[in-house]
Homo-oligomer: A and B are copies of this chain.
Amino acid sequence: MRDTVQHGSTRDAILDATDHLLSRYGYKKMTIDDLAAEVGIGKGTVYLYFPSKEEIVLSHIDRIIERLKARLWAIVHKDLPPDEKIRRMMVERVVYRFDSVQHYTQSLNEMLAKVRAKLLDRRTRYFLEEAQIFAKVLEDGNAEGVFGVSNAIDTAETLLYATNSLLPYSLSVKELGDRKTIAKRTAAIAEVCLSGLMARNDKVNK
């Protein structure tokens, strides 16, 4: 367990187990012993990787965001018009988060409440990193004459704020239940925003 590959895979295995156990037990009932047993390692080994249950859960959320960013970049690198990229990215940022937590929605609010303070700092970073990916596509769209966006990073943040209310932590379990409705609502917001961003509407960014 000393070389990098092993290190990576044990760490990932602990985070995979976290995902399963959040679904099976919820945050409160999940223990480090449970996690160690699920991975098939000793409790001490878990502590080699993470100092606390709180840090495990935060790293689990970090991993969801890293994977989301990879999916957003994959859309950026597709051969599609920039407006279609933005449309897909807006839906992806909502639906991917939904899919990542939907098997433990019952314990989601409890978990988020426990890590709230540390999570808020991270969210600021997540948000900025996401905005940078969106800004790249807005700039590409400007260069192609598709968008008429004067400040790409500000506009990127606006697009994120416009869809933030559909993210899992903003919704109740009941509201979270319906993936199709959430995707549809996000697409509707994307549609209105994109119409506003298209360069030939001369009202944009004046």
Q: Which A residues are closer than 8 A to B by beta carbons?
A: 116, 120, 154-155, 157-159, 161-167, 170, 172, 174-175, 185, 188-189, 191-198, 200-201, 203-204
Complexed CA–CA distance, A142 and B200 (Å) = 21
Tell me which residues across on chain B come within 8 A of A155, comparing CB atoms.
Answer: 188, 192
Known: A192-B192, A192-B204, A196-B197. 13 other contacts (CB 8 A): A120-B174, A154-B188, A155-B188, A158-B185, A161-B188, A162-B162, A163-B165, A164-B165, A165-B170, A195-B203, A198-B201, A198-B203, A201-B201
A-B residue pairs in contact (CB < 8 Å), sample of 16: A120-B172, A157-B185, A158-B185, A158-B189, A158-B192, A161-B188, A162-B163, A162-B165, A170-B170, A191-B196, A196-B196, A196-B197, A196-B201, A198-B201, A198-B203, A200-B201
**CB of A74 to closest CB in B, whole Å:** 25
A116, A175, A188, most chain B CB atoms within 10 A: A188
Tell me which residues across on chain B come within 8 A of A193, comparing CB atoms.
Answer: 162, 192-193, 196
A170's contact among B163, B164, B191, B192, by CB below 8 Å, is which?
B164
Tell me which residues across on chain B come within 8 A of A157, comparing CB atoms.
Answer: 185
A165 touches B161 (CB 8 A): yes
Contacts A172-B120, A195-B195, A196-B196 given; indicate if A189 touches B204 (C-beta within 8 A).
no
Tell me which residues across on chain B come within 8 A of A116, comparing CB atoms.
Answer: 172
Tell me which residues across on chain B come within 8 A of A158, comparing CB atoms.
Answer: 185, 188-189, 192
Tell me which residues across on chain B come within 8 A of A195, comparing CB atoms.
Answer: 195-197, 201, 203-204
Tell me which residues across on chain B come within 8 A of A120, comparing CB atoms.
Answer: 172, 174-175
